[in-house]
């Protein structure tokens, strides 16, 4: 059951007709909020396309949208907005005008649009895949930027995403597959989803052998390397435990030798020394004068 434009004049009609057999699928419209316009617009466009209402908000040049189609598109747009926003849009007559007003409200006027384009371009340029990211994680980040840029009206080319993906992945983990793609595949005609699929296949084949080291492991390794470097430095400068003790002993011995050199030698008084050979005072037994007499007598 559909609406057909009238053509009373008999000439060719330039109006958009509603499909004769619209989809019977029950579709729930997403609600527009202050933060979800980008994804909201994508979903609404998809629903309008299925329902044959897309040209109500994006009419082809030289065509006039049928009033019944426009009214039905209005109803759908109102269902996808909060009540406060519906009240603000109630004075607008056509679905195209409502759609453009929402885009201006949430996307911004020309200057804001230009600033957002520059911001997105910078975000895209500095985006790099982290060691902890998977291909799905990183490709989602690229897709989000692509969706925002497309909604503003400045979509990126497909080959730009492919080159960004191949350039941004960690070389250690994907060097083999990236080299293969660059050598044997024509990147200019390669789709982004094809590049993602090839990298994901390589990621799944590699398994855990290329799994990045966790932050705790990195911390432990870094701590060990610090300790090792510090120990080597202390050994070189004699500041280790053993080096410290040997150094202190050497210093004490050196002080003792210096002290002995500086202190004068005190001569002992031999007047009270008694010789055990002759029992006389004044000398030791080794220097006893009677020692020589004993030797001569023994001969």
Contact criterion met (CB below 8 Å) for 83 and 75: no
Could you write out the DSSP letters of every residue in 143-195?
HHHHHHHHHHT-PPPHHHHHHHHHHHS-HHHHHHHHHHHHHHS-GGG--HHHH
Average pLDDT over residues 157-173: 87
Query: Which tokens in the block code for residue 59?
Result: 């009419």
pLDDT in tens, 184-196: 777 778 889 998 9
**Per-residue confidence at 20, pLDDT binned at 50, 70, 90?**
very low
- pTM of the model as a whole: 0.42
Average pLDDT, the chain: 75
Predicted local confidence at residue 237, as pLDDT: 63
- Could you report the per-residue pLDDT of 76-129, keeping only the tens digit for each? 999 999 999 999 998 998 999 999 999 888 876 667 778 888 999 999 999 999
Helix axes 37-51, 95-107, angle to 10 degrees: 160
Structural contact between residues 59 and 16, judged by C-beta atoms closer than 8 angstroms: yes
**Domain boundaries of the chain, sorted by first residue:** 15-107, 110-209
pLDDT value of position 207:
62
**Pick from 122, 171, 161, 119: nearest CA to 139:** 161
């Amino acid at each position: 059951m559909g609406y057909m434009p009238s053509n009373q004049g008999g000439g060719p009609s330039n109006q958009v007709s509603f499909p004769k057999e619209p989809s019977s699928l029950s579709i729930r419209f997403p609600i527009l909020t202050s933060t979800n316009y980008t994804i909201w617009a994508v979903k609404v466009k998809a629903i309008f396309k299925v329902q044959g209402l897309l040209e109500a908000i994006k009419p082809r040049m030289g065509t006039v949208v049928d009033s019944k189609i426009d009214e039905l598109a209005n109803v759908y747009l109102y269902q996808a907005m909060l009540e406060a926003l519906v009240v603000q849009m109630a004075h607008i007559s056509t679905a195209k005008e409502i759609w453009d007003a929402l885009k201006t409200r949430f996307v911004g006027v020309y200057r804001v649009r230009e600033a957002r384009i520059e911001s997105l371009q910078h975000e895209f340029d500095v985006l790099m895949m982290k060691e902890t990211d998977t291909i799905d994680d990183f490709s989602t980040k690229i897709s989000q930027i692509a969706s925002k840029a497309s909604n503003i009206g400045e979509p990126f080319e497909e080959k730009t995403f492919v080159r960004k993906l191949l350039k941004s992945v960690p070389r250690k983990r994907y060097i083999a597959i990236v080299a293969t793609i660059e050598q044997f595949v024509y990147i200019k005609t390669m789709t982004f989803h094809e590049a993602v699929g090839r990298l994901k296949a390589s990621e799944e084949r590699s398994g855990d052998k290329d799994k990045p080291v966790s932050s705790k492991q990195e911390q432990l390794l870094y701590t060990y390397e610090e300790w090792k470097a510090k120990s080597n430095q202390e050994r070189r400068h004699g500041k280790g435990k053993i080096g410290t003790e040997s150094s202190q002993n050497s210093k004490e011995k050196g002080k003792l030798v210096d002290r002995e050199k500086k202190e004068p030698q005190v001569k002992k008084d031999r007047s009270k020394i008694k010789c055990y050979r002759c029992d006389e005072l004044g000398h030791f037994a080794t220097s006893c004068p009677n020692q020589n007499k004993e030797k001569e007598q023994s001969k």
